[in-house]
Amino acid sequence: MKFGYFDDERKEYVITSPRTPLPWINYLGCESFFSLVSNTCGGYSFYKDAKLLRLTRYRYNNVPFDSNGHYYYIKDGDTIWNPGWMPCKTELDSYLCRHGLGYSTFESSKNGLAATLTAFVPLGAACEINKLSMTNETSSVKSIDLFSYVEFCLWNAMDDMTNYQRNFNIAEVEVHGSEIYHKTEYRERRNHYAVFAVNDAVSGFDTDRDAFLGPYGENSAPKAVCSGESGNSTAHGWAPVGSHHLKLKLEPGEKKELIFILGYVENEQNQKWSGLNEINRAPALAMLNRFNSVEKADFALKELSSHWETLLSRFTLHSTEDKLDRMVNVWHQYQCMVTFNMSRSASYFESGIGRGMGFRDSCQDLLGFVHLIPDRAKERILDIAATQFQNGGAYHQYQPLTKRGNAEVGNGFNDDPLWLIAAAAAYIKETGDFSLLDEQVPYDNNMDVATDFMEHLRRSFHYTLDHLGPHALPLIGRADWNDCLNLNCFSKEPGESFQTYGPSKGPVAESIFIAGMFVRYGKEYVHLCKHKGLTEEAALAENAITDMEKAVIDYGWDGEWFLRAYDAHGQKVGSNECEEGKIYIEPQGFCAMAEIGKEQGLCHKSLDAVKQYLDTKYGIVLLQPCYTKYHLELGEITSYPGGYKENAGIFCHNNPWVSIAETVIGRGNRAWQVYTRTCPAYLEEISEIHRTEPYVYSQMIAGKDAPTFGESKNSWLTGTAAWTFVNVSQFILGIRPDYHGLIIDPCIPPTLQAFQVDRIFRNIHYHIQVHNPDGVEKGIIQLMVDGKVISENTIPYDPSMVGKTVNITAVMG
């Protein structure tokens, strides 16, 4: 069952019923001010950091679900309704929610009154704009009471929901006409406040939640709205809110448009005040003045649209597959940008107070957005590298505001350092900018011990070599990519963190997954060493890679597939010998991508085993058989009920690894099958089962062992976004950046007979046409560059073509 449709022309997903299985959300903002907005107007805003600088309050896991947001109430006679349906849930005569690139629009109507609400965060300003239009479609005059409503958060979202003995005393506001200011803690240690304003005169306002809602009131029937009168209240402690009351008279056919602005403002320490206890409003007024008319707001929305147009024009596909085109051209890349902005901090499943930026997560996210924002990607790489330790290890997480490593989570996740090589290689391949390697970068943010970035990579590579176990395979430490496989943890007490409990390393537990990473990204390291003329180091690295391949073949092969690990007792994990958890997906994907044992047929065999043992109709599960008991020696993975999360869930993140690996061995049909099975647009028809948004990936889909097989959770903030875009653009469509040019190497299903890609690569526009007349899965028989046949499948970068178009024709066969 569908709950909407894709509007490809406008690059929107249009939701046609407010009663989606779960809230289907969008993200507003691409710089410093961000809002989450659901299809019923739920959500919240924050400035830069969802934990420390939250502007509006949201209650996770509340009843009803998704019950706080930026709301508008329309009181038309006795009927009270909201353009986004919530929170009154009044039955609407019509309803649409259009989630677009950086904006969401709600179009609804009730009793002959049509409302259109467009919410977006403009470029270059720290605010959210809400444009609300109302049209009287009846033949009689309508007198409307309109109320806006936001609930302010006392900035630190964690403290806001725990420290009531203090918080019920500290709220302070100021009201000036149609401007409501939230200035809690501004008198003391903060230099920032929030403003919520409307560009018209108000007939009342409220800033005290109880006054607005009424005693024991709720936001589905606020006292002020029901009575048609604001309380003109001033919050003194308790819960500060912002609500404007406007009385509107609409003639038949008349349309009224209002601009509401919710903004974040900072003042210099010596410019905080303009009078006794009166905040300096000047910067707020300047901000409001930029957007406070319909023309100005519309102009800002246009600027935002062209920003996205330009961004997404860097990779555009035209094929015969609508679903593929829309995912590649719009939604995959859009989701990659959201992971760039949010990492794993704020979604409807991530509370914004939990995790900082993950080292491995951020490095992988970068693979998906480096082609869109290479400069910011470089900055991100340098920020991440600055949290590395001198021994090459790394803090597992860092805080976005301070950019410092997070000591509570610590280090010892032994895959982390290798992801830095992956990110660096991706950046250099995209840009050709080898100067990254010469940047001076500190360790643990200490500039006294800074080295060039190349040395960071050396330490990353050697970190694995310095941490080898009894089989000469990499020690796993706290965990590798699979955060829940905790082989050195042995946690028995409830509440202990599986990730940080116990020693950060053990001398025995080894990871075949890290071995696969080492081989794959080690080869990139060798390339970079050679580029820098570090011949000896390159030779050393090549030997280490050969040794690692040998160790995997000798000790990491189980007969039909790659083993997952050796535990702290030296026992096999992910082996046919195990009772549960005999085969895991991660080493099959990564060792095959790294081409370990390819000649001996191990890659084929392992991928066949994936198909045979791990495939389901909704995607590939992480392992089989699922764990039914808690295994002390394996940790969190066995704490989940079977079929959920890492315990045999369909963890979408590693499905693309298998798909890429399939392209490495040339099986385009299978790569395609793996891609489409978890791809949101291909699941739109089963939205009642899948439940999360049909335009973006979720972290996990319940596996076949779960009672809710096919139901997904944790949408938006997942490394799946980046890996999927890498998979489909670079390996299935085969347009792959390399150090010295652009590789054309598609691996597609035979049914795809032709496609066209426009790719902006190092400021050259490549217009690429691929023909597949014989319906093969892989192989180019002719490649023409501007009419000339070339023998390689890499189009060498030619600086004289910068700013121009290069025409490529590739014939498969």
C-alpha angle 660-661-667 in degrees, rounded to nearest 5: 90
Nearest distance, CB of residue 497 and ligand BGC, angstroms: 14
Segment lying near ligand BGC (by CB under 6 A), choices 40-48, 91-99, 358-366, 465-473? 358-366
What span, in angstroms and rounded, lies between the C-alpha atoms of 187 and 132?
34
Which pair of structure tokens corresponds to residue 299?
Answer: 């102009």
Nearest distance, CB of residue 482 and ligand BGC, angstroms: 5
Which residues within the stretch 645-674 sit at the binding site for ligand BGC (CB under 6 A)? 646
Nearest distance, CB of residue 469 and ligand BGC, angstroms: 21
Closest CA to 770 of 737, 808, 743: 808
The smaller minimum CB distance to ligand BGC, of residues 354 and 570, is found at 354
Can 361 be counted among the known catalytic residues? Answer: no
233 DSSP β-pair partners: 206
What span, in angstroms and rounded, lies between the C-alpha atoms of 639 and 637?
5
Nearest distance, CB of residue 498 and ligand BGC, angstroms: 11
The smaller minimum CB distance to ligand BGC, of residues 311 and 394, is found at 394
The smaller minimum CB distance to ligand BGC, of residues 33 and 584, is found at 584
Q: What is the DSSP string of 206-268?
A: EEEHHHHH-TT--TTS-HHHHHT----B--BSS-EEEEEEEEEEE-TT-EEEEEEEEEEEE--
Which residues within the stretch 612-651 sit at the binding site for ligand BGC (CB under 6 A)? 646
The smaller minimum CB distance to ligand BGC, of residues 461 and 651, is found at 651
Angle of helix 359-369 relative to helix 332-342, nearest 10 degrees, comes to 140
What span, in angstroms and rounded, lies between the C-alpha atoms of 14 and 36?
17
The smaller minimum CB distance to ligand BGC, of residues 344 and 520, is found at 344
The smaller minimum CB distance to ligand BGC, of residues 363 and 437, is found at 363
252 C-beta neighbours (distance < 10 Å), count: 12
The smaller minimum CB distance to ligand BGC, of residues 362 and 729, is found at 362
The smaller minimum CB distance to ligand BGC, of residues 646 and 745, is found at 646
Nearest distance, CB of residue 752 and ligand BGC, angstroms: 31
What span, in angstroms and rounded, lies between the C-alpha atoms of 560 and 466?
30
Question: Strands 173-176 and 71-76, how do they pair?
Answer: unpaired
Q: Tell me which residue has tokens 């994990």.
A: 573
468 to 487: interface string for ligand BGC, x by CB under 6 A:
-------------xxxx---
For ligand BGC, the nearest residue by Cβ is 483
Nearest distance, CB of residue 595 and ligand BGC, angstroms: 23
Nearest distance, CB of residue 359 and ligand BGC, angstroms: 9
Taking a C-beta distance cutoff of 8 angstroms, is the pair 115, 124 a contact? no
Residues composing the chain: 813
408 C-beta neighbours (distance < 10 Å), count: 11
Q: Does 344 bind ligand BGC (CB under 6 A)?
A: yes
Segment lying near ligand BGC (by CB under 6 A), choices 86-94, 334-342, 354-362, 375-383? 354-362
Handedness of CA 495, 500, 502, 506 (dihedral sign): positive
Nearest distance, CB of residue 646 and ligand BGC, angstroms: 6
Q: Does 416 bind ligand BGC (CB under 6 A)?
A: no
Segment lying near ligand BGC (by CB under 6 A), choices 209-217, 356-364, 444-452, 463-471? 356-364
Nearest distance, CB of residue 452 and ligand BGC, angstroms: 28
- From 358, 412, 432, 746, residue interacting with ligand BGC (rule: CB under 6 A): 358
The smaller minimum CB distance to ligand BGC, of residues 75 and 344, is found at 344
The active-site residue, picked from 483, 567, 705, 745, is 483
Nearest distance, CB of residue 696 and ligand BGC, angstroms: 16
The smaller minimum CB distance to ligand BGC, of residues 4 and 358, is found at 358
Give me the amino acid identity at 232: N
Long-range contacts, stretch 531-540, CB < 8 angstroms, 24+ apart: 531/434, 531/437, 531/739, 532/437, 532/454, 534/454, 537/458
CA 480, distance to chain mean position in Å, is 20
Give the total of residues touching ligand BGC (CB under 6 A). Answer: 9
359 exposed, middle or buried (CB, 10 Å; 0-12, 13-18, 19+)? buried
152 DSSP β-pair partners: 56
**Residue 683: what are its φ and ψ, rounded to 5°?**
-110, 0
Q: Does 361 bind ligand BGC (CB under 6 A)?
A: yes
159 C-beta neighbours (distance < 10 Å), count: 16
Segment lying near ligand BGC (by CB under 6 A), choices 76-84, 299-307, 355-363, 446-454? 355-363
Q: With b meaning 16 or more CB within 10 Å and e meaning fewer, what string describes 552-567?
A: beebbbbeebbbbbbb
Which residues are the active-site residues? Answer: 483
**Residues interacting with ligand BGC, by CB under 6 A?**
344, 358, 360-361, 481-484, 646
